[in-house]
Structure 1
Amino acid sequence: MVLITLQKKAQIASNGLTLVSILDYTDPGDWRVPAQENVIIWPGNPWIKPTDRAVLKGTTLRIGVIESVPFTIVQHVVNESGYNTTELIGYVPDLIELLRVTTGFIPVIQLASSNQTYAALVQAISNGDYDNVIGDVTVISSRREIVSFSIGIFDNSLSIIILQSFNVDIDLLSFLKPFSRSLWLLVLIAFVYAGILMCMFERHDNEALQNRSLVSQLSMSLWFSFGNMVGYGADFHANTASGRLITAGLFILCLMLVASYTANLASDLIISKSQGTISGIDDIKSGKIPFNRVGVRVGTASEDYYLREEIEIIIH
């Protein structure tokens, strides 16, 4: 029978680390407790074997926070003794208090200076100034190389703020934009064609067209076609069945044209008022605004992102 000590556990002794046998393996394939049992000192120096992970109860943690509304708000209040003191309120202090009650650790909250950047705040953890930091710190690849991040609590978004432009470009032909050129041409052809047909069918039976020259009859018919097409109406009515049929067609055409024109015109006006100088980071990358006219807060994830995008533009 071969006896092999297979698993050992390292524990702290007075003279350093020692290895303690905890299980022996025998040749038939059995595990057994060694004949000479050794006392095992578990993390935290307890004699009882832990049944769960390490806990933070009673551990003092240096927690770094940075002033950022509404996450951490610094208030100056007067205490019961009449002295001015600094009080931290907001989402982060409330979260720290909830974690303290839940896990039982002892928080030592350290407020970062007002001129400290987020990049320096992350570096302070690596330097050992804080045990952890709770705040609106953006997770980026360069920061992951030096510290570890928990699961994000709030989603972060990058916004561009630009001065609103009040310059109005006057376009005298903007009323033609709701319809394309081909559609305007089709409307013109329908208008002239309906006027000619109206003149042919009504010139002999309609009193408004009788005793007039051919040019005058054609003009009145075109006026009739135009008035009914735009929904205004005309000075006379159709008397023949053919004329009434043309009038019904003009009414239907008027309904579709007016509804479509009004909707498209309103949409164009809304879009023109909502359009700014730039619409996103791509406009900055394309050079719509000079790079020296773009302001970015130093030491933030926005600075890293902007510099990375600018370097890519220079390389390409």
Structure 2
Amino acid sequence: MPFLADNLEKVNARIPYTSIIPSFATDDQIVAELYKLMAKQTRVFIVHMRTTLGSRLFSKAKLLGMMSEDYVWIITDGMTNELTSMDRLVIEEDMQGVIGVKPHFPKSDELHKFTVKYKKEIQQQNPTNHDMDLAYDSAVALAMAVQRVRIRNAKFLKKASDSTTPTDLEDFGVSGIGTELIHALSSTTFRGLAGEFKLVEGQLESPPYQIVNAIGAGARAVGYWTKDNGTVREINFTKSTKKTYSTSKSNIGFIMWPGDRKNPPKGWVTPTNGKKLRIGVPVTNGFPEFMHITWNSDNSTKVEGYCKDVFDMAIEALPYGVQYEYVPFAMSDHKKAGSYDEFVYAVYQGDFDAAVGDVTIVANRSKYVDFTLPYTQSGVSMFVPIKNDKNKNAWAFLKPLTWKLWLTSFCSFVFIGFLIWILEHRINEDFRGPLWHQVGTIF
């Protein structure tokens, strides 16, 4: 577990609490420890225990409602390797949605024969022994290293010790050819039951891990994790494919979470004894689309509006749960308790944990509180009609001339011509003659 905690910290995931449950714990002790977990914010639990104790743990967790949609349970290989041999009723009723991980080795005839023989002859006598395939490969590697060194009459150096305890490590002898043996073991490579055996910097390379999901009366494989590629849907031991390292959830199959939840839980909620955040909202008579408060007959309030919807969506997007309540900035008679400046200052004084509303960001208010990014731009705006440039032609100047204007212009033209004819036809011979000639002269 310390190595697991160190690796989780590398990906910015910490273990805030470690619960130790002895194998001989009573049901009351298990329930008491589960109550401690319920009182905390974390809802992601890693179970590292044997199936005998693990089945009891999940049974009590089911009774306490800890297998609901807010929880995530991950079991290590100690339980995952034995899911196939566990009571199906326990998996079907108490472990639905549990995620398990276990080492995955390539299938082979040698591994199958060894597994059958191990379960038949050894497992009944030593039910707590696991990873026997790795132990077998380690013994083979050690034998090959000894054969390469060609040990003859090996001597063991012992330190002087007064201890009479047979399990005292200081009383054990040290091989005189230990350095040669380590060098030979480090360079030993072969294909064993668990795949390729090869030591890198004195450590065996991490094998691929299979990710399983407890559904129904058994477990279903949803993907794999490899050191080079991260999470993958399928794994191929015979063909080497180079891919970029990825931990995307799209690389694995569908996972059914506790409580028949299809989407991954947030893994973090407000503890049962925690307080809700007080979110202040202003009381305003104008622009109810932004924020509107309705008081019910039981003096409870209903907050609506664009600002409230934006805040709810922002909280929903967080990777953990946050409990909060809206508190109006109002007097006992439901009228506003002050101006927007006083509303902002109330947050600074601690009356509210945060404020939501149509609050303008100005310099003097920024001295007391921090504002989030604005979702509307402040300033003066001007509305102008849209100019249509599509109908451009040589007769565009005629568009402002309506039929009334055309009629008025024609009547004025005729009236002026008739007036000139009256004044000129007596003294001007051009305005005399036939009627059609006089009409033409007028126009």
TM-score normalized with structure 2 length: 0.25
Structure with more of its chain in helix, by fraction:
1
